[in-house]
Amino acid sequence: MSEIHVLVIGGGIAGITAALELASCGVEVTMLEEGPSIGGRMIQLDKTFPTLDCSSCTLTPKMVEVALNPKIELLTLAMPIEVLRESRGFKVKIRKRPRYVDMSRCTACGLCSDACVMKGRIRHEFDCNLSKRPAIYIPFPQAVPQKYLIDGMGCLFISRGKCKKACVDVCGPNAIDFSQKEEILERYYDSIIVAPGFDLYDPTEKKELGYGTLEGVLTGLEFERLCSVTGPTGGEIKLNGKVPRRFYFIQCVGSRDRQTGARFCSRVCCMYTAKHANIIKDRIKDAQIYISYIDVRAYGKGYEEFYKNTQDAGTFYIRGIPGEVVQTKEGLLVRVEDMLSGEIREIDTDVVILATGVRPHKGTEELCNIMSLKKDEYGFIKVNATEPSRTNIEGIFVCGMASGPKDIADTVASAGEAVARCMEYLKE
């Protein structure tokens, strides 16, 4: 089977699982990742529910396995721009953005980052813009590949042609290469597995919740970065240098919500909120935590128990979604109708965390266009429950959140299923 070659699009946990399974079945794999490192959303997380083990500990070894596996070719900063059917396979044009750093030379020593004049001036996407980075950087310390890159937009030399180029001076192995250009690769693949993943709902439009306008209103993912050791505060839960004591979580923000056009349940927010409550209780002993919910969907293995433990540890659940969040002298005030008691309650808090729902990744639409994949009404790739990875195009399979919200365990299983279907297709 050595001449068979499969393209995996997306380097999150779904794509990683799929690539490793394919390789173990003897198939050659090319993995495309749009960003500078694989790891996807999962690597942004601090811990995972319901076991509370750290995300890095479970995922980074898999990332390294991808990098080391001789059957897997990893292309970062790369996306397909054209997919054409050719016999039973596909001719794919891949656009590879320049890294401006020679991967074969970079030793990831980090001197360039310290030297960069833009140090601490560019918003860091990996930290949900909560921290600032230089123009030459590595997205997070455990990134795979372990290579620095220059962000063309942020780099003064690339964007304006003017910089003293301190990075070049400090780089011992001479890895920085401003002459790199965008490359277009043309390849043939026998089959494709797409796993572009998801984005989170941007709650700015929900003015009443104050996201983007009030200090102390965060999204779940932002809070996740605040908890993380690799995050902006080194894992200390701190806002503007102070440790908050009072937390208020609001669930179903942008899920089960006709207003925002998302009627579906995002499947992970109930549990990640419970997880956040656990993390807070662990690090801030006297924290006061409220969680507003509609239904608590603790459906997976060990989830119900996790939810119960969260309640038993002193987190208050309030049934009802707040009408508004307002600024007060000492912080924030949440107004909510508690549906169980029928009362309107006003709760003072330091932080409001919005458990934002899931949306298809922004690149999914483009991907569907170039591959002629059908989408459902929300923009997820359309599949059928008895054949959960089959798309409308034969030979192209989907896994992970791209076909609808899933937790990590379900994502892993769906990646395995996509590989099964792909292997069947290849054997036909």
| Beta carbon nearer to other proteins, 61 or 241 | 61
Please identify which residue in 85, 132, 146, 327 interacts with other proteins, judged by CB under 8 A.
146
The Cα-based distances of 162 to 17, 155, 177 in angstroms read: 43, 9, 15
- Reference 393, options 370, 411, 415; nearest CA is 370
Give the CA-trace dihedral at 224, 145, 79, 93, to 10 degrees: -170
Angle between helix 269-283 and helix 303-312 axes, rounded to 10 deg: 40
- Within 8 A by CB and 6+ apart from 61, the residues are none
- Reference 14, options 418, 299, 396; nearest CA is 418
Task: Confirm or reject binding of residue 394 to other proteins (CB under 8 A).
Answer: no
Please identify which residue in 162, 285, 301, 329 interacts with other proteins, judged by CB under 8 A.
301
User: Distance between CA 231 and CA 44 in Å, rounded?
Assistant: 9
Please identify which residue in 125, 182, 324, 424 interacts with other proteins, judged by CB under 8 A.
424
Task: Confirm or reject binding of residue 53 to other proteins (CB under 8 A).
Answer: yes
| Beta carbon nearer to other proteins, 30 or 56 | 56
Task: Confirm or reject binding of residue 289 to other proteins (CB under 8 A).
Answer: no
Q: How far is the CB of 61 from other proteins (least distance, A)?
A: 5
Q: How far is the CB of 156 from other proteins (least distance, A)?
A: 28
| Beta carbon nearer to other proteins, 186 or 428 | 428
Please identify which residue in 159, 341, 369, 372 interacts with other proteins, judged by CB under 8 A.
341
Task: Report the site for other proteins in 219-248 (rule: CB under 8 A).
Answer: 228-230, 235
User: Distance between CA 415 and CA 190 in Å, rounded?
Assistant: 18
User: Distance between CA 352 and CA 203 in Å, rounded?
Assistant: 12
Q: How far is the CB of 318 from other proteins (least distance, A)?
A: 13
Q: Is 65 helix (H, G, I), strand (E, B) or coil?
A: helix
Please identify which residue in 263, 316, 346, 372 interacts with other proteins, judged by CB under 8 A.
263
| Beta carbon nearer to other proteins, 163 or 383 | 383
Please identify which residue in 141, 173, 261, 323 interacts with other proteins, judged by CB under 8 A.
141
Q: How far is the CB of 119 from other proteins (least distance, A)?
A: 20
Task: Confirm or reject binding of residue 153 to other proteins (CB under 8 A).
Answer: no
Cβ atoms of 378 and 401 within 8 Å: the answer is no
Looking from the CA of 206 toward its CB, the CA atoms found within 13 Å total 27
Considering only 87-95, 163-171, 213-221, 408-416, which stretch makes contact with other proteins by CB under 8 A? Answer: 408-416
Please identify which residue in 103, 339, 365, 374 interacts with other proteins, judged by CB under 8 A.
339
Task: Confirm or reject binding of residue 314 to other proteins (CB under 8 A).
Answer: no
Number of residues that bind other proteins (CB under 8 A): 79
| Beta carbon nearer to other proteins, 55 or 349 | 55
- Within 8 A by CB and 6+ apart from 152, the residues are 98, 100, 158, 159
| Beta carbon nearer to other proteins, 62 or 99 | 62
| Beta carbon nearer to other proteins, 228 or 349 | 228
- Reference 101, options 142, 43, 146, 40; nearest CA is 146
Q: How far is the CB of 256 from other proteins (least distance, A)?
A: 6
Task: Confirm or reject binding of residue 297 to other proteins (CB under 8 A).
Answer: yes
Please identify which residue in 71, 82, 102, 108 interacts with other proteins, judged by CB under 8 A.
108
| Beta carbon nearer to other proteins, 65 or 82 | 65
Please identify which residue in 160, 181, 329, 427 interacts with other proteins, judged by CB under 8 A.
427
The 3 state secondary structure assigned to 146-174 is: CCCEECCCCCHHHHHCCCCCHHHHHCCCC
Q: How far is the CB of 352 from other proteins (least distance, A)?
A: 23
The string over 355-379, giving b where at least 16 C-beta atoms fall within 10 Å of a residue's C-beta and e elsewhere, is bbbbbbbebbeebbeebebebeeeb
Please identify which residue in 133, 267, 359, 390 interacts with other proteins, judged by CB under 8 A.
267
Cβ atoms of 336 and 321 within 8 Å: the answer is yes
Structure-token pair, residue 272: 């990640």
Q: Which residue has the tokens 């030793």?
A: 107
Task: Confirm or reject binding of residue 292 to other proteins (CB under 8 A).
Answer: no
